[in-house]
């Protein structure tokens, strides 16, 4: 067997067959949305390592600037040491690398154990069914729910996005990926094929944004509670539930019967709130170090 690890800049379609085959075999995507974009977008500054066998790519790892790593090995080339080789190469480049295992599959657990790694983070995928019982949001006096296009018409795009960014960074000051954004990151996140301005809802009180619910629809019609953020000044007023319901109602109206969301497993309050709204755990994604 002849295999080598090479570094590649924006490998894009070169490695997508690996990701597609891995997802088909495993039932879960090996790369998250951000790492998928990193294959083509050099502004994300991802490093890519590719295992080649006889000149053909058979495995790939992406390394983000924060040291997080996502990997995939083609199903036809597993159990040949390629995963171990990628872990070793990623650790050479960043000794504090954290390895995502989407779905936390047995093979990932085995590889992590071989390197003495432990789980340091767990992200849950929760899901629910939308039906005729899905409730419309009930707001307290003084609050309003407004879709992005309408709010831009009222206030102007610059004002809306400035306040939106402030609420996001306030709500996610603790979060390793979602916090501390700048306007370029916000625009980059909006610059996707699936972005739907009508599916972005703002909770407004007077002349300020109190919270937002950014929804997403997947190609198969599944909806997603993509990001929900509530400003700290408006917490404790019972607005989190209506804000979530606003997005669910929208997704139901545009035809989504299934909805998922991602939430940190140690965010007990959020997990409890989503359970109360009918969500159940469907997948677990973990980081090993």
Lowest-confidence region among 34-38, 106-110, 234-238, 276-280: 234-238
CATH of the domain at 159: 3.40.630.30
Same domain, 111 and 134: no
DSSP the chain: --EEEEEESS-GGGTHHHHHHHHHHHSS-SS-HHHHHHTT-GGG--EEEEEEETTEEEEEEEE-TTSEEEEEE-GGG-SSSHHHHHHHHHHHH-TT-EEEEET--HHHHHHHHHTT--EEEEEEEEEEE--TTPPPP-PPTTEEEEEHHHHHHHH-HHHHHHHHHHHHHHHTTT-TTTSS--HHHHHHHH-STT--GGGEEEEEETTEEEEEEEEEE-TTS-EEEEEEEE-GGGTTSS-HHHHHHHHHHHHHHTT--EEEEEEETT-HHHHHHHHHTT-EEEEEEEEE-
pLDDT tens digits along 24-80: 999 999 999 999 999 999 999 999 999 999 889 999 999 999 999 999 999 999 999
Domain final residue, candidates 88, 117, 146: 117
Same domain, 137 and 90: no
Same domain, 25 and 7: yes
Asked if residue 170 belongs to a domain, the reply is yes
Asked if residue 122 belongs to a domain, the reply is no
Known binding residue 177? Answer is yes
**pLDDT at residue 1 tops 50:** no
Same domain, 156 and 27: no
Domain count, the chain: 2
Known binding residue 27? Answer is no
**Domain with 75 in it:** 3-117
Asked if residue 289 belongs to a domain, the reply is no
What is the pTM (predicted TM-score) of this model?
0.86
Known binding residue 45? Answer is no
Same domain, 143 and 278: yes
Known binding residue 33? Answer is yes
Same domain, 146 and 205: yes
pLDDT tens digits along 134-166: 777 888 889 999 999 999 999 999 999 999 999
More confident residue, 287 or 270: 287
Known binding residue 274? Answer is no
């Amino acid at each position: 067997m002849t295999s080598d690890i090479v570094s590649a800049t924006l490998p894009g379609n070169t490695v997508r067959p690996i990701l597609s085959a891995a997802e088909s075999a495993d039932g879960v995507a090996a790369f998250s949305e951000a790492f998928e974009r990193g294959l083509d977008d050099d502004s994300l500054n991802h490093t890519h390592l590719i295992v080649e066998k006889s000149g053909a790519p058979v495995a790939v790892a992406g390394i983000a600037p924060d040291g997080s790593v996502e990997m995939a090995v083609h199903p036809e080339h597993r159990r040949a040491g390629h995963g171990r080789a990628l872990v070793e190469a990623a650790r050479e480049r960043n000794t504090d690398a954290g390895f995502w295992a989407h779905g936390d599959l047995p093979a990932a657990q085995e590889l992590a154990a071989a390197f003495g790694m432990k789980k340091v983070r767990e992200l849950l995928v929760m899901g629910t069914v939308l039906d005729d019982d899905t409730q419309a949001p009930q707001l307290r006096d003084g609050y309003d729910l407004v879709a992005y296009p309408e709010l831009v018409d009222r206030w102007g795009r610059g004002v809306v996005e400035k306040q939106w960014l402030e609420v996001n960074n306030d709500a996610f000051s603790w979060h390793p990926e979602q916090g501390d954004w700048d306007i370029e990151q916000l625009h980059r996140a909006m610059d996707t094929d699936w972005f739907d301005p009508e599916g972005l809802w703002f909770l407004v009180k007077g002349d300020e944004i109190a919270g937002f619910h950014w929804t997403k629809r997947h190609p198969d019609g599944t909806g997603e509670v993509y990001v929900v953020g509530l400003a700290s000044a408006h917490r404790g007023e019972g607005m989190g539930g209506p804000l979530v319901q606003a997005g669910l109602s929208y997704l139901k109206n545009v035809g989504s019967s299934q909805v998922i969301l991602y939430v940190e497993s140690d965010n007990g309050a959020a997990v409890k709130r989503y359970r109360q709204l009918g969500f159940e755990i469907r997948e677990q994604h973990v980081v090993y170090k």
